[in-house]
Structure 1
């Protein structure tokens, strides 16, 4: 079967939207699954819905990558968006045609084309997702390297070439998963400019002509077709082979920090897409962390102890779903600094995402490093709820007891990077966390609930504070932990949700 390209696609009888020729308006650092299912999708939709007429050139960020394959397929790839939307199962297929080509700057030709693109008057945007490790200062990155070693170094070199060509600045949309990603990237570019002595005029152009935007991205991208059998079936149905096929959940939202004028410049608003220009992304990140991530950390440890394995099955259980809804709607949403209806819509979308029939999201994979996760995602909500209402939130407090139960239940063996434990039904599982956390629980494997909580809740290095100082939290957690051990996690879920078993 032939690989996907424009001629093969035409012969296959594909009836969807395709844009073959348009100027390159986006340089994208990265050619991986996430950007292809996220930003490339939004630009592709803007072409169809708003007549944006723009193409993307990808830049391979490391020496090994997808350049050859992307160019063989003329930038085309099949995107499957799958999941639940308003309670309905969704399975969409789209051939994305927004990508023109991919450059490998680690070859002489690729690096030359990279610098030549910097001079293009049609270029408007730079998009990046080089992982959290991408936005870092590398002292060994040099201007004369072909290419500079780090991502900020490559970007500085590119922008300097554009400055020398007398072109206007660009909008830089940073999608890396760090706080203030755009601001941090700008600092590094400015630092390289100063250390490489690129001149005050370049620094002034960088500041006045370019807009570095922090962004918040939200879409789960599994990336791969679930099995070889399914991939072969889809290829037969499509009439072509596509090694670049990508898979993402149907839900997706992109928040871009910038001035109101940016909303009109970007093509997404005109296309009616779920991409928003906002004064600050921080409140939306807080909403995501507290609702989506906080929900995961709030129930998965208890759900695993109750005998569940994947997220989808948990939200099909009425008791756990009742716990989840109460935690979100009564304990977390009321303390968030955003419109309540907007937060409730987001929470409803979260429930749909948890029900995704195409993703088997394992509870044990979510359980990794739950100490730092509970501290970042759930503790702030508990504290703010207590401050606002003068009482402890039952579900969030129960989530802390679930944490201590999961980390102390039937400990059997200390391994190099884990503690082997056993849940009530006899199934073994591995607790994975920082060494200090694992050592703490292993050393107290025979401790009483009172002793475990007195020591564990007092570990300021775990929580950033002594949890026992929160009025009423120690006795409530002790009561909850005893109930979990005596009656089981299912009974604890029912108690916290207000429907005591």
Structure 2
């Protein structure tokens, strides 16, 4: 069977595979990140706009971390990959397979930083996109080395812009539109703040910071599409369906929404909406409130409790009577009531989320949702927890139980490089998070192994401001309830604990 690359011709493919390659387009976008989400979302949108001759540009994908593995695969396949969309859209079944050709090449900045700087010199480059996960949009103290890539994502952007500024003689026309897609509130504002911080610490000229401020647009954004990635469990069936092998095959749902805080000038240069895509230009706040609280919040709430109960995917969790009830009860009784939006609109969105969770085509793995889970809990569920307490003068028991499950999930069996390895029965899973979370949780469990004191474990974890943004012990009853939940899980196991909890949570 052939492998996917430019040697494959459209006329050789089955009728259910779409392939519309766009020739000789300039590179207009540099993208920090090359994972499943960006390829199934932004790069797909660029491809759709190119097909209609609305954008006419290509993407250069930059590997965000030293241990990335996608760039060599991208270059082997000439930047091509297949996006398989499966689901229900407007009451109709959607099953599409399209070869996406919007990426021109990938670059590993740790070995080829000079190539990244060469991209910075191109007058055709207009946009920066990114998705380096929430943990990537943070500050990391590091030195500036002109000929080497910074380790952090904001550091890379700073060095990239500084090189462009110098090569193009500080021209206002060299400024860029920067649209981070990390699921962080005010992501554009935060990235700008970090870039200016690095510029100051690296002692770049004040004129550079002024140029960043005046001639570059940092746009807050919100993204929404479930991209489940490489369908490893049924890849042979996909290859037979497509007629070729694709090591970057990416699957996801048809639903998509992209909200971008930018004006008409940006919308005209990036006319996704004219391509029929669901892109909202303007204030992202109402869309963020809905999406983060009612889609991402339940994802984070369910992943540990459901995975440690023995299921692997969101669909399996929702089809389980006890686990599904746990998730739906939390959404309806604890999350939905404190979302500040029109009742009908938020109810419709919540119902659509349940429908998306039950998409029979998606294999959305819970361990993937669990990546960087501590930060996700802080940003997605702590605000809901605090709002619920303020409104009801009591704790949201399902959210607290989900925190207990998360803490249990981070109980590792051993360490493997930067990450921890946990165990579910005989199965191992990788606990991926930033260094602070890994260190804090592993040390807490190491101490517990010596004392077997659940109260001490809980107190130490809750008081960590860096993890949660505040001392959660200060919430009345929080410590006691979390001790109760963790003790119950340790004694009875996760599945039985969820079953008991689901039966009593709303009483």
Residue by residue, what CA displacement relative to the aligned partner does 1:411-431 show, whole Å, maximum 9, x if unpaired? xx9955689999xxx999999
Structure 1 residue 218 displacement after superposition: 3.7
Contact 1:79–1:245, Cα closer than 8 Å, also in 2: yes
Contact 2:25–2:56, Cα closer than 8 Å, also in 1: yes
Residue by residue, what CA displacement relative to the aligned partner does 1:143-181 show, whole Å, maximum 9, x if unpaired? 4x2666751313321343344566352211123455543
**Aligned match for 1:154, one of 160, 182, 197:** 160
Q: Secondary structure in 2 aligned to 1:26? A: strand
Gaps of 5+ in 2: 432-437
Counterpart in the other structure of 1:224: 230
Residue by residue, what CA displacement relative to the aligned partner does 1:309-339 show, whole Å, maximum 9, x if unpaired? 5432221245543443342234312222344
Structure 1 residues 251 and 162, CA gap change in structure 2 (3 angstroms): farther
Counterpart in the other structure of 2:99: 95
Residue by residue, what CA displacement relative to the aligned partner does 1:7-63 show, whole Å, maximum 9, x if unpaired? 522341455544324343322234443322221111112233573333323345578
Structure 1 residues 385 and 151, CA gap change in structure 2 (3 angstroms): same
Structure 1 residues 139 and 183, CA gap change in structure 2 (3 angstroms): same
Is the radius of gyration larger for structure 1 or structure 2?
A: 1
C-alpha distance in 2 between matches for 1:491 and 1:206 = 55
Counterpart in the other structure of 1:490: 499
Contact 1:20–1:97, Cα closer than 8 Å, also in 2: no
C-alpha distance in 1 between matches for 2:186 and 2:379 = 17
Contact 2:120–2:160, Cα closer than 8 Å, also in 1: no
Q: Secondary structure in 1 aligned to 2:46? A: helix
**Aligned match for 1:125, one of 101, 124, 127:** 127
Structure 1 residue 127 displacement after superposition: 1.6
Structure 1 residues 444 and 90, CA gap change in structure 2 (3 angstroms): farther
Counterpart in the other structure of 1:246: 250
Structure 1 residue 350 displacement after superposition: 2.7
Contact 2:385–2:399, Cα closer than 8 Å, also in 1: no
- TM-score by structure 2 length? 0.74
- How many residue pairs were aligned? 477
Counterpart in the other structure of 2:262: 258
C-alpha distance in 1 between matches for 2:486 and 2:64 = 49
Paired residues for 1:34-433 under 5 Å = 34-48=37-51, 51-59=54-62, 70=74, 73-83=77-87, 85=89, 90-102=94-106, 106-107=111-112, 110=115, 113-117=118-122, 119-120=123-124, 123-131=125-133, 132-133=135-136, 136=139, 139-143=142-146, 145=147, 150-152=155-157, 153-164=159-170, 167-191=173-197, 193=199, 199=205, 201-227=207-233, 230-259=234-263, 262-281=266-285, 284-299=287-302, 303=306, 308=311, 310-318=313-321, 320-361=323-364, 377-388=380-391, 390-392=392-394, 396-401=396-401, 404=404, 415-416=413-414
Residue by residue, what CA displacement relative to the aligned partner does 1:377-418 show, whole Å, maximum 9, x if unpaired? 444323322322x3546xx31443565589789xxx995568
Contact 1:223–1:246, Cα closer than 8 Å, also in 2: yes
Contact 1:156–1:189, Cα closer than 8 Å, also in 2: no
Contact 2:18–2:98, Cα closer than 8 Å, also in 1: no
Q: Secondary structure in 2 aligned to 1:206? A: helix
Residue by residue, what CA displacement relative to the aligned partner does 1:179-219 show, whole Å, maximum 9, x if unpaired? 54333433344455556676555444332221012333344
Paired residues for 1:443-482 under 5 Å = 445=452, 456=458, 460-461=462-463, 464-465=470-471, 467=473, 470=476
C-alpha distance in 1 between matches for 2:7 and 2:190 = 43
C-alpha distance in 2 between matches for 1:35 and 1:249 = 14
Contact 1:22–1:55, Cα closer than 8 Å, also in 2: yes
Residue by residue, what CA displacement relative to the aligned partner does 1:66-115 show, whole Å, maximum 9, x if unpaired? 66654564433211234555677644211112233445665598367424
Counterpart in the other structure of 1:438: 445
Contact 1:398–1:477, Cα closer than 8 Å, also in 2: no
C-alpha distance in 1 between matches for 2:268 and 2:404 = 50
- TM-score by structure 1 length? 0.74
Gaps of 5+ in 1: none
Deviates more, 1:459-468 or 1:151-160: 459-468
Structure 1 residue 476 displacement after superposition: 11
Counterpart in the other structure of 2:4: 4
